[in-house]
Amino acid sequence: MSPAHPTSYWQDLDKAHHLHPFTDFQQYRKTGGRIFNKAEHIYIYDTDGNEILDGMSGLWCCNLGYSQPEITNAISEQLQQLPFYNNFFNCSNQPAVELANALVDVTPKQFNQVFFTNSGSEANDTNIKLVHRYYDLIGKPEKKLFISRNNAYHGSTVAAGSLGGMSGMHKQYTGLNYVHHIQQPHWFAEGAGQDKESFGLQAARELERKIDELGEENVAAFIAEPVQGAGGVIVPPASYWPEIQRICRERDILLISDEVICGFGRTGNWFGCETFGFEPDLMTFAKAVTNGFQPLGGVMVGNKVADVLTAGGGEFAHGLTYSGHPAACAAGIATLKVLRDNQIIETAAQDVMPYFQAQLQTLVDHPIVGEVRGQGMFAALELVKDKSSHERLAPDSAGAIHCRDKAIQNGLMVRAVGDAIVTAPPIICNRRDVDTLIDRLSRALDTTA
Measured from each CB, the residue nearest to ligand PLP is 120
Alpha-carbon radius of gyration of the chain: 22
Residue 378 CB, nearest approach to ligand PLP (Å): 11
Residue 213 CB, nearest approach to ligand PLP (Å): 25
The packing angle between helices 69-81 and 326-341, to 10°, is 150
Angle at 165 between CA 242 and CA 23, to 5 degrees: 135
For ligand PLP, the closer of residues 153 and 187 by Cβ is 153
For ligand PLP, the closer of residues 145 and 233 by Cβ is 233
Residue 262 CB, nearest approach to ligand PLP (Å): 8
Residue 125 CB, nearest approach to ligand PLP (Å): 9
Interface residues with ligand PLP (CB under 6 A) are: 119-121, 124, 153-155, 225, 229-230, 258, 260-261, 286, 297
- Tell me if 41 sits within 8 A of 66, measured CB to CB: yes
Q: What is the dihedral of CA 437, 341, 68, 355, to 10 degrees?
A: 0
For ligand PLP, the closer of residues 185 and 370 by Cβ is 185
Contacts of 250 (CB under 8 A, 6+ apart): none
- Tell me if 427 sits within 8 A of 61, measured CB to CB: no
For ligand PLP, the closer of residues 124 and 291 by Cβ is 124
For ligand PLP, the closer of residues 230 and 282 by Cβ is 230
Residue 221's closest CA among 251, 183, 263? 251
For ligand PLP, the closer of residues 65 and 263 by Cβ is 263
Residue 231 CB, nearest approach to ligand PLP (Å): 9
The long-range contacts involving 431-437, CB below 8 angstroms and separated by at least 24 positions, are: 431/351, 431/352, 431/355, 433/42, 433/53, 434/352, 434/355, 434/356, 434/359, 435/359, 436/53, 437/53, 437/55, 437/412
Residue 284 CB, nearest approach to ligand PLP (Å): 6
For ligand PLP, the closer of residues 119 and 184 by Cβ is 119
Residue 196 CB, nearest approach to ligand PLP (Å): 23
Q: What's 427's DSSP letter? A: T
